[in-house]
Amino acid sequence: MKRALDIAGGLVGLVVLGLPMLAIALAVRLESRGPSLHWSRRVGRNNRIFRMPKFRTMRTGAPDVATHLLADPAAWVTPLGRTLRRASLDELPQLWSVLVGDMSLVGPRPALFNQDDLVALRTEAGVDALRPGLTGWAQINGRDELPIPEKVRLDREYAERMSVGFDLRIIAATAVAALSGRGVRH
């Protein structure tokens, strides 16, 4: 059932948001040199690495690490990138990853390939068995502000409570969080 909802949601999302996504892609290209999309290596279900698309929010040549690990994130994030991140619009291309099965609409946010501490704790908690999500329980409960052990605790709680109703609640809360820009540091 969850996979069927992911496919339907991914298709509807890509159709409904297709024109706005094209406009964002064009704006990214016009603002700074480089491609509109950044294909990030992420850790998926059962710790398998996959390539996840995002609208590029950083200058070309930025180090491939979590933004909070950069000495001066503001030097790398583009002005448009700040806006896209605050509203989570940079995540919209991940509807493609949902459609092809690398991701789900709701689940733990996919870790970067080099976030070994997060991957290890998720594996220990059994969260690695879940398909990563476009949004998730930890995402709406703090986003960038959460320490890694708290993210994993919330990811595990999601795994224990997972249901269609809970997913719909998380999707609704995600829309509110995205509009407010709450929990985004960079």
Residue 112 is part of which domain span?
Answer: 2-180
Which of 156, 107, 128 lies closest to 6, judged by CA?
107
Structural domain includes residue 70: yes
Name the pLDDT band for 186 (thresholds 50, 70, 90). very low
pTM of the predicted structure, to 2 decimals: 0.88
Considering only residues 66 and 139, tell me which one the structure prediction assigns the higher pLDDT: 139
Res 28: pLDDT: 97
pLDDT in tens, 77-120: 999 999 999 888 999 999 999 999 999 999 999 999 999 999 99
Structural domain includes residue 186: no
Residue pointed to by tokens 């950069």: 70
The token duo for 171 is 């999707």
Structural domain includes residue 185: no
As beta bridge partners, residue 77 has 58
Res 182: pLDDT: 57
Give the total number of structural domains in the chain: 1
- Asked whether residue 181 carries a pLDDT value surpassing 70, the answer given is no
pLDDT in tens, 129-155: 999 999 999 999 987 788 999 999 999
CA dihedral (27, 110, 172, 163) positive or negative = positive
pLDDT in tens, 16-50: 999 999 999 999 999 988 999 999 999 999 999 99
How many residues in the chain? 186
Nearest-angstrom CA–CA distance, 176 and 173: 5
- Average model confidence (pLDDT) across the chain: 91
Pairing verdict, β 104-106 and 133-135: parallel
Q: Residue 69 has what DSSP assignment?
A: G
Structural domain includes residue 61: yes
Structural domain includes residue 87: yes
Res 48: pLDDT: 97
**SS3 of 37-58:** EEEEEEECHHHCEEEEEEECCE
Return the beta strands (E) in 4-103 as ranges: 37-43, 49-55
Which helix (H) or strand (E) segment holds residue 151: the answer is helix 148-161
Mean pLDDT of 158-184: 85
